[in-house]
Structure 1
Amino acid sequence: MVIIGLVLGRRLITIWGAVGVTLALIYLLSGYAYALAILAGLSIITAVVVVVAKGQRNKQKKVAKK
């Protein structure tokens, strides 16, 4: 689904594919608690970086318009 979404340019399909891959990894790693903790930590860090980067981009656009 990820590849199909990227090829077709459909963001929703890409996101659902990524969610499916993530859930499959969680299921495969369910016996390894430390791996799940690392995966959760990396996910949180990635989410924070994306939100901060998006906020910085919007802030720069507002400054450029003035």
Structure 2
Amino acid sequence: MNISELLFIASMITLIVGFVGVVMIIVLGLMDLMHIQLRVQVDRKKYIRNIISLLVVGGLLSTAYLMMK
């Protein structure tokens, strides 16, 4: 495996985890609209900040991969 393959794998993993996080934010929002309470309190600001950083890092890694190709 060379560097470009590792960059591709890392970018895909971070982007997939980021998009799963976006889906979880949507699900949590729908649960709030339906007044469904979780037993665990979720710090939404911290969660959203982490998801945004994952998406940005994934975008940067995929850009680096495309530049190397």
TM-score, normalization: structure 2?
A: 0.48
Which has a greater percent of helix? 1
Say which structure, 1 or 2, has more relative contact order (CA 8 Å, 6+ apart): 2
Tell me the TM-score normalised to structure 1 length.
0.50
